[in-house]
């Protein structure tokens, strides 16, 4: 039996095992350890939900720990964005905002201890030479000629590295393990490099910085982490982390690796995301097309949807690619319940109701959310001049097209039946207006004589509507696997040139005058839309979060077969 409400996975099973033998008492302490070298993405959400979720399931704790060992790539902007994103997802690290840089002094002392124990040495080989000496999977490594320096010489040189006597790249501190190990990570790995660089937190205090592999495991140990959960690529690093901790004789967390999240039509690597930002391919880290948490938040994704998605995908040991449609499914589920319905016409076509008195206006009742009666109703204005969606009219309707066409009657949502009587065109032959009549007896949307119509259209009253900019998005990449390219190309060759479409003059119902960034609505029949922070007084900007079409349901059916 687990303590996790029936939900379980191989990681929780390992923890249950530890709890039953009392390996760490019954303590469970995890951490989410980002490197502040970019914004978090949806893959990080999987790790956040896992680490904070496990801590909460077992009444334990989860730290937010920055692995800030690489000052040239890290910044305060990234540190701040990470906090904002974790909080937005709904998790709380309380007072445990921690940094590997808080441990630089301790790490330095431990490195000196390894030197004194004859387990680390200062090496004068260049980075290239170290690489050449390392060997390959099929070829043994070669020992560094500096490997057998005396303890005193090593201590002296390490101290002087710290004091800043030597230029970048001239020396390193390396662990003395085994150049013949089948695991390349164990072939005398570098522990410290010389880097005369300003650090966002420690400023100019240091000019030697610990390598990630030297800092990460010890940081976990210092924090009393019981379960160090990380992605599969660290499996080969585990023997090294174990070695360091065993040499130092300090608290030993259990490292457990799981498969990282991969999503179709998406790249999830900070290096690539940075490339998209720096190359001006997107407007920034929070471009609504980006898979970053700041991007999808701006787009209108909700933390509830992301958490439900992460719960559903679970954790495994084998690499896989998750359909982005599955994320969309959870998003629609959540927005369907919470988003208020409104009417908005993206590409307006004028409709004049010829038998409706000029200058007259009436207010009709509309339901705010059929999924949630507590959201109430609202009044929407109806008048002689309306807008409907251009795509809801065809002069020459194909067989399956049941919307408006010459002579045909349709329902206007919450209003009346109307019949198209005449089509007005401009000199180029483009349809610019429809002359229609309405049936006053059908108010509210039903005909007392039982007459049926085959479709219901959304609309707004022309005079009462407001104009808005609407941004429509598609996948950033045209291929499910952005890495599927011809020779000599890279993933950028699969960029979707139509990933953003801007509509300058959509027409929305007047209730949308007072909206603020982040508000979400369903524009009936057109999808879910979220107010963008570019909105200013008199110029609302909406992002389409997602359409209403549910491709995931289809995929699920296929999977069930």
Which residues would be at the binding site for ligand ATP (CB under 6 A)?
33-35, 43-44, 46-47, 230-231, 260-261, 268-271
Among 31, 35, 65, 411, the active-site one is: 35
Residue 413: which of 436, 374, 442, 449 has the closest Cα?
442
Round to whole Å and give the CA distance between 411 and 456: 5
Of 117 and 242, which CB lies nearer to ligand ATP in the complex structure? 242
Least CB distance to ligand ATP at residue 361 (A)? 54
Annotated catalytic residue: which of 84, 119, 201, 260?
A: 260
DSSP code per residue over 273-285: HHHHHHTTSSSST
Q: Which residue is nearest to ligand ATP (CB)?
A: 43
C-alpha to C-alpha distance for 42 and 261, rounded to whole angstroms: 8
| 33 or 348: CB nearest ligand ATP | 33
Listed residue (388, 362, 344, 380) closest to 540, CA to CA: 344
8 A C-beta contact, residue 203 and residue 220 = no
Task: Quote the least distance from Cβ 52 to ligand ATP, whole Å.
Answer: 12
- Least Å distance between CB 232 and ligand ATP? 9
**Angstrom distance (rounded) from CA 140 to CA 487:** 33
CB of 230 to ligand ATP, least distance (A): 5
Minimum CB distance to ligand ATP smaller for 31 or for 341: 31
CA distance 494 to 515: 36
Q: How far is the CB of 226 from ligand ATP (least distance, A)?
A: 16
State in angstroms the smallest separation of the CB of 478 from ligand ATP: 21
Catalytic residue among 171, 270, 298, 544: 270
Find out whether 188 and 175 touch, Cβ atoms under 8 Å: yes
Distance of alpha carbon 505 from the chain centroid: 29
H runs (alpha helix) in 210-258: 212-222, 238-248
Closer to ligand ATP by Cβ: residue 38 or 141: 38
Question: Based on CB atoms, which residue is closest to ligand ATP, 32 or 552?
Answer: 32
Burial class (CB in 10 A: 0-12, 13-18, 19+), 454: exposed
What is the spatial order of strands in the sheet that 385-389 belongs to?
A: 456-457, 409-412, 417-425, 431-439, 348-353, 385-389, 459-461
Is 77 one of the catalytic residues?
A: no
Is 350 labeled as catalytic in the residue annotation? no
Closest CB to ligand ATP among residues 321, 517: 321
Structure tokens at 28: 């469970």
Does 35 participate in catalysis according to the annotation? Answer: yes
List active site positions: 35, 260, 270
């Amino acid at each position: 039996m687990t303590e996790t409400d029936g939900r379980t996975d191989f990681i929780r099973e390992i923890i249950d095992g530890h709890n039953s033998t009392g390996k760490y008492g019954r303590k469970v302490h995890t951490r989410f350890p980002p490197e502040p070298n970019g914004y978090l993405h949806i893959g990080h959400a999987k790790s956040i939900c896992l680490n904070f979720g496990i801590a909460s399931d077992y009444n334990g704790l989860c730290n937010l720990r920055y692995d800030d060992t690489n000052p040239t790539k890290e910044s305060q902007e990234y540190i701040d964005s990470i906090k904002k994103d974790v909080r937005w997802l709904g998790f709380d690290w309380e007072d445990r905002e921690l940094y590997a840089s808080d441990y630089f002094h301790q790490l330095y002392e431990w490195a000196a201890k390894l030197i004194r124990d004859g387990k680390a040495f200062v090496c004068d080989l260049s980075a290239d030479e170290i690489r050449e000496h390392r060997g390959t999977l099929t070829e043994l490594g070669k020992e560094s000629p500096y490997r057998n320096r005396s303890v005193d010489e090593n201590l002296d040189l390490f101290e002087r590295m710290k004091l800043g006597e030597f230029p970048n790249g001239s020396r390193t501190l390396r662990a003395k393990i085994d150049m013949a190990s089948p695991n390349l990570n164990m072939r005398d790995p570098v522990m410290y490099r010389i880097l005369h660089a300003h650090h966002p937190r420690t400023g100019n205090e240091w000019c030697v910085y610990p390598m990630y592999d030297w800092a990460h495991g010890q940081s976990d140990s210092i924090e009393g982490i019981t379960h160090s959960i990380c992605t599969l690529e660290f499996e080969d690093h585990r023997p090294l982390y174990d070695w360091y901790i065993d040499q130092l004789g300090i608290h030993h967390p259990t490292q457990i690796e799981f498969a990282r999240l991969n999503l179709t039509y998406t790249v999830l690597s900070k290096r690539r995301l940075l490339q998209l930002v720096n190359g001006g391919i997107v407007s920034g880290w929070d471009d609504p097309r980006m898979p970053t948490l700041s991007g999808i938040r701006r787009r209108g994704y909700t933390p509830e949807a992301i958490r439900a998605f992460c719960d559903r995908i679970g954790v495994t040991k084998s690499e896989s690619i998750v359909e982005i449609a599955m994320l969309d499914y959870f998003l629609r589920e959540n927005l369907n319940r919470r988003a208020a319905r409104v009417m908005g016409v993206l590409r307006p076509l004028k409709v004049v109701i010829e038998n409706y008195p000029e200058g007259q206006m009436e207010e009709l009742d509309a339901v705010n959310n059929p999924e949630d009666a507590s959201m109430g109703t609202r009044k929407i204005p109806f008048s002689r001049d309306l807008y409907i969606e251009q795509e809801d009219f065809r002069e020459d309707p194909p067989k399956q097209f049941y919307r408006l066409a010459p002579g045909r009657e349709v329902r206007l949502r919450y209003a009346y039946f109307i019949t198209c009587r005449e089509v007005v065109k401009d000199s180029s032959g483009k349809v610019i207006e429809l002359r229609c009549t309405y049936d006053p007896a059908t108010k509210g949307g039903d005909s007392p004589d039982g007459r049926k119509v085959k479709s219901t259209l959304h609309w707004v009253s022309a005079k009462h509507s407001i104009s808005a900019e609407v941004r429509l998005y598609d996948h950033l990449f045209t291929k499910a696997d952005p890495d599927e390219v011809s020779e000599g190309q890279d993933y950028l060759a699969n960029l979707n040139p139509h990933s953003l479409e801007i509509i300058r003059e959509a027409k929305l119902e007047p209730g949308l005058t007072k909206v603020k960034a982040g508000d979400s609505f369903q524009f009936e029949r057109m999808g879910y839309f979220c107010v963008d922070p570019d909105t200013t007084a008199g110029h609302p900007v909406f992002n389409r979060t997602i359409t209403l079409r549910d491709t995931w349901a289809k995929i699920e059916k296929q999977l069930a077969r």
